[in-house]
Amino acid sequence: MRNPPTILEPNVNIKIKSAVKGPAYIQLATLIKDKISSGEFTPGMRIPAEVAISKTYGVAVMTVRQAIHVLAEQGLLRRVHGSGTFVCGPDWTRANFNMEGLLDRLEDQDNVEIQILSAGMSEASEKAAESLEIEPGAMILSMIRLVSHKGRPFLLNKARLKYDPKSPIVEAEMEASSLSSLFTGQKNSFAKKSVLRLEPYVLTESEASLLQTQANLPAFKIRYTFYGYADEPVGTGWFMTPMEFISFTTKIGVWDEE
């Protein structure tokens, strides 16, 4: 039985850039994913050896391994001991849902206003410390925000962040782009990934008042944790939005990045 064909080494002069687009292995993973999405790298093909990829893109072999690990976690690549790394076919059981409506508003930054209802330093409770993987009593930043689009409140957010005076996270969290990046994973220079959990919810009177809607209406509570590039949790919290602001769609397979 013949081995699947090997992907030819890319005839490009692309080199991984430093700093502005995140770690080199994330950039490299994106480049390889783009080739899978375009059809240049097809299911069943074997990608070049790690050493060959490192020379092509001007990165260390360890960087290549990290990039392959990321894509393997996403189900796009598969390592076979003694044979190499192969491109996987689409896994039709993996579905990523887009929260339309909510994202459209968050990404319309010219018309988004973020109001800080409360913010301050506090000692982490046992529950907060567990979610952030820190010691109880360690200092964290807690804040509650109300997000409006064209003057209409649509999102209530409570966030807890690890406190580090040298970190850009606190400043970046004040921007509307940081909220949409938690859902899309894009345009975020400090977070590698996030986990979201969607829960049905009924608005209380105080919550409905802030969101300028009726109490006891159905809503969604979206709990989240986002992680830094060292894979440690750096922030956690929840979003609350009336059901009217979210609809769900999903795309199956490998799609071009937009």
Confidence band (pLDDT; 50, 70, 90) for 196?
A: confident
CATH number of residue 67's parent domain: 1.10.10.10
Q: 173 vs 58, which has greater pLDDT?
A: 58
Please report the pLDDT score of residue 234 as a whole number.
86
In this model, does residue 142 exceed pLDDT 80?
A: yes
Q: Are residues 183 and 220 in the same domain?
A: yes
Q: Tell me if 80 is assigned to some domain.
A: yes
Cα 258 to chain centroid, rounded: 15
Q: Tell me if 128 is assigned to some domain.
A: yes
Q: Are residues 62 and 136 in the same domain?
A: no
CATH number of residue 104's parent domain: 3.40.1410.10
Q: How do residues 52-62 score in pLDDT, each as one tens digit?
A: 999 998 899 99
Of the residues 93, 120, 140, the one at which a domain ends: 93
CA distances from 196 to 96, 174, 239 (A): 11, 20, 10
Q: Are residues 79 and 113 in the same domain?
A: no
Q: 174 vs 198, which has greater pLDDT?
A: 198
In this model, does residue 161 exceed pLDDT 60?
A: yes
Domain count, the chain: 2
Q: Tell me if 166 is assigned to some domain.
A: yes
CA distances from 258 to 74, 103, 177, 184, 250 (A): 18, 14, 16, 11, 15
Residues 6+ apart with CB under 8 A from 112: 105, 106, 147, 148, 149, 176
Q: Are residues 127 and 243 in the same domain?
A: yes
Residues 6+ apart with CB under 8 A from 233: 131, 132, 133, 162, 225, 226, 227
Of the residues 74, 93, 112, the one at which a domain ends: 93
Residues 244 and 208 sit within 8 Å (Cβ to Cβ): no
Q: Are residues 43 and 70 in the same domain?
A: yes
Please report the pLDDT score of residue 4 as a whole number.
47
Q: Tell me if 253 is assigned to some domain.
A: no
Instruction: State the residue for tokens 């690549």.
Output: 77
Nearest Cα to Cα of residue 27 among 14, 44, 8: 14
Q: Are residues 207 and 120 in the same domain?
A: yes
Asked which of 40-44, 64-68, 207-211 is least confident by mean pLDDT, the reply is 40-44
Q: Are residues 81 and 144 in the same domain?
A: no
Per DSSP, the three-state class of 36 is helix
Q: Are residues 62 and 169 in the same domain?
A: no
Please report the pLDDT score of residue 11 as a whole number.
41
Q: Are residues 154 and 75 in the same domain?
A: no
Q: How do residues 82-134 score in pLDDT, each as one tens digit?
A: 899 999 876 655 555 667 778 888 888 889 898 989 988 889 999 999 999 99
Confidence band (pLDDT; 50, 70, 90) for 186?
A: low
Please report the pLDDT score of residue 152 as a whole number.
93
Please report the pLDDT score of residue 66 as a whole number.
93
What 8-state DSSP symbol labels residue 25?
H
Q: Are residues 82 and 185 in the same domain?
A: no
Centre a 10 Å sphere on the Cβ of residue 95 and count the other Cβ atoms it contains.
Answer: 10
Residues 238 and 197 sit within 8 Å (Cβ to Cβ): no
Show the domain range for 70: 1-93
Identify the helix (H) or strand (E) that includes residue 55. helix 50-57
Of the residues 93, 118, 144, the one at which a domain ends: 93
Q: Are residues 40 and 117 in the same domain?
A: no
What 8-state DSSP symbol labels residue 151?
T
Confidence band (pLDDT; 50, 70, 90) for 257?
A: low
Residues 238 and 17 sit within 8 Å (Cβ to Cβ): no
Please report the pLDDT score of residue 50 as a whole number.
93
Mean pLDDT of 232-246: 89
> Whole-model pTM?
0.58
Q: Tell me if 257 is assigned to some domain.
A: no
Q: Tell me if 143 is assigned to some domain.
A: yes
Q: Are residues 173 and 87 in the same domain?
A: no
Confidence band (pLDDT; 50, 70, 90) for 65?
A: very high
Please report the pLDDT score of residue 250 as a whole number.
66
Average pLDDT, the chain: 80
Mean pLDDT of 187-196: 70
CA–CA separation, 22 vs 45, rounded Å?
28
Report percent pLDDT > 70 for the chain: 74
What 8-state DSSP symbol labels residue 109?
G
CA–CA separation, 160 vs 145, rounded Å?
12
Per DSSP, the three-state class of 40 is coil
